[in-house]
C-alpha cells in the first residue's frame, strides 16, 4: 500500500474523493489532525487529538460498480476487530460496521464512491480509530465511546497499529473482491454482538424493530418482527 500523510486536513475522505484521479489504487491518505471529520448518515466524526487515526483507503478495483464493494466496510470491520484483538481486548461488531468494546464505540467506517460519467473512479474507505484519548473528551461525544488506551490501560503506538491493520487488510483483499462476504462471514458472525437480541434499525426515515436473527451470505441483516415478518436489511443503523 502507498501511504500518503497529510499534516492537517478537514476530512481525509473529502480529500481522497477530490484527488481521486491522482491517487493510485491502494493509497492510504491519513492524518493525525482532522478538523472536520464526517461520519455515516450526515453525522460528524469528532477530533479526539493527534494520537488517534483518521484515514481513508483509496481502492480502484474496476471501472464498474459491483455488489461486493458495498461489503468492503464489513471486510475492514473484521480486519479492525482482529487488530484490536492483538491488544488483548474483545471487540464486538455492531452491524453493519461499527466496532464496540464493552458496548462503547471505538471505531467507525465511512465508505464513499466516486462515479464520473458512469465510470467508477474509485472507492474511498474512511475510518477513524480511537487509540489514545482522555475520558473527559469521550464524555463529550453524544454516544458511548471508548479508546484502546482506556481499555488496555496502556498508551498505544498509532504508527504500529496502522501498520498492523493495513498489513491485515492487504492479506485477504484480492480474495475478498473475488469471493465476497462469504469469505469473512464466519469471522464476522463470531464477533457480532447484536444477534438474537431485540433491536430497532433506522432505515432512512423508517424504523424496523424485531429480533436480529442472522446475517445473510451478502452481509445483510435478517430481522423477524412481532408479526413474524422477515426483513432483510442491506443498509441502516442499529439504534
Query: Which residues are near ligand BTN by CB under 6 A?
Result: 11-13, 34, 37-40, 43, 45, 54-56, 98, 108-110, 126-128
Q: How far is CA 44 from CA 81, 142, 206, in A?
A: 22, 11, 21
Q: How far is the CB of 47 from ligand BTN (least distance, A)?
A: 9
Q: How far is the CB of 99 from ligand BTN (least distance, A)?
A: 9
For 34-51, letters b (16+ CB in 10 Å) and e give: beebbebeeeebbbbeeb
With CA atoms as reference, report the closest residue to 87 among 134, 150, 147, 152: 152
Q: CB nearer to ligand BTN: give 103 or 196.
A: 103
Q: How far is the CB of 226 from ligand BTN (least distance, A)?
A: 29
Q: CB nearer to ligand BTN: give 61 or 126.
A: 126
Whole-angstrom distance, CA of residue 219 vs CA of residue 100: 18
Quickly list H helices, the chain.
12-18, 72-85, 135-139, 148-152, 158-179, 185-190
Q: CB nearer to ligand BTN: give 16 or 183.
A: 16
Q: How far is CA 123 from CA 71, 88, 177, in A?
A: 12, 32, 13
With CA atoms as reference, report the closest residue to 76 among 203, 158, 171: 171
| Residue showing the smallest CB distance to ligand BTN in the complex | 108
Q: How far is the CB of 229 from ligand BTN (least distance, A)?
A: 29
Cα Rg of the chain (Å, integer): 17
With CA atoms as reference, report the closest residue to 204 among 42, 39, 85: 42
Q: How far is the CB of 29 from ligand BTN (least distance, A)?
A: 9
Q: CB nearer to ligand BTN: give 145 or 220.
A: 145
Cell triple for 90: 474483545
Whole-angstrom distance, CA of residue 19 vs CA of residue 16: 5
Q: CB nearer to ligand BTN: give 112 or 121.
A: 112
Q: CB nearer to ligand BTN: give 124 or 177.
A: 124
Q: How far is the CB of 30 from ligand BTN (least distance, A)?
A: 8
Amino acid at each position: 500500500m502507498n501511504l500518503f500523510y497529510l499534516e492537517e486536513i478537514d476530512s481525509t475522505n473529502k480529500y481522497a474523493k477530490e484527488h481521486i484521479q491522482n491517487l493510485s489504487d491502494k493509497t492510504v491518505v491519513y492524518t493525525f489532525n482532522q478538523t472536520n471529520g464526517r461520519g455515516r448518515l450526515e453525522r460528524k466524526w469528532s477530533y479526539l487529538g493527534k494520537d488517534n487515526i483518521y484515514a481513508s483507503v483509496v481502492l480502484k478495483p474496476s471501472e464498474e460498480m459491483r455488489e461486493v464493494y458495498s461489503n468492503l466496510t464489513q471486510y475492514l470491520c473484521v480486519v479492525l476487530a482482529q487488530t484490536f484483538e492483538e491488544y488483548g481486548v474483545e471487540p464486538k461488531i455492531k452491524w453493519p460496521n461499527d466496532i464496540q468494546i464493552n458496548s462503547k464505540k471505538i471505531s467507525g467506517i465511512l465508505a464513499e464512491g466516486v462515479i464520473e460519467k458512469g465510470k467508477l473512479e474509485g472507492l474511498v474507505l474512511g475510518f477513524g480509530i480511537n487509540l489514545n484519548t482522555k475520558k473527559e473528551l469521550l464524555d463529550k461525544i453524544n454516544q458511548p465511546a471508548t479508546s484502546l488506551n482506556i481499555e488496555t490501560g496502556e498508551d498505544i503506538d498509532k504508527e504500529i497499529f496502522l501498520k498492523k491493520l493495513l498489513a491485515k487488510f492487504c492479506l485477504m483483499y484480492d480474495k475478498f473482491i473475488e469471493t465476497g462476504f462469504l469469505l469473512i462471514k464466519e469471522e464476522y458472525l463470531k464477533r457480532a454482538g447484536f444477534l438474537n437480541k431485540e433491536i430497532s434499525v433506522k432505515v432512512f426515515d423508517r424504523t424496523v424493530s424485531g429480533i436480529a436473527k442472522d446475517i445473510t451470505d451478502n452481509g445483510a441483516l435478517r430481522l423477524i418482527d412481532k408479526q413474524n415478518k422477515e426483513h432483510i436489511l442491506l443498509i441502516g443503523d442499529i439504534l
